[in-house]
Amino acid sequence: MAEHLIIDRNACAGHGLCYGGAPEILDCDDQGDPVLLVDPIPDDQLDKARLVVSICPERALSLQSR
C-alpha cells in the first residue's frame, strides 16, 4: 500500500498554502492551482503531506492508501 495525495479541484480555492508549505511535494501551475510533484508520497515526506492536508482551509486535500 502506498499513500497518495488527492486534490479536490472543486474545493480548492488556490490559496497556495499547500505548495508554499511543502514545495517538495506540490508546485503550482500558471493559474496558481496545486500540482503534485510526487506520487505516491515517499515515506520520508508523509509527515509533511499530513501537515498540508491539515492546513488546507478548504479541506481540498486528503491522503488515500491504495
Nearest residue (CB) to ligand SF4, 46 versus 55 = 55
Nearest residue (CB) to ligand SF4, 54 versus 65 = 54
15 CB contacts (<8 Å, ≥6 apart)?
Answer: 56, 57, 58
Q: Minimal distance in Å, beta carbon 27 to ligand SF4?
A: 11
Contact between 40 and ligand SF4 per CB under 6 A: no
CB 57 within 8 A of CB 15: yes
Taking CB under 6 A as the criterion, which residues in 20-39 touch ligand SF4? 34
CA dist., res. 25 & res. 15, Å (int): 16
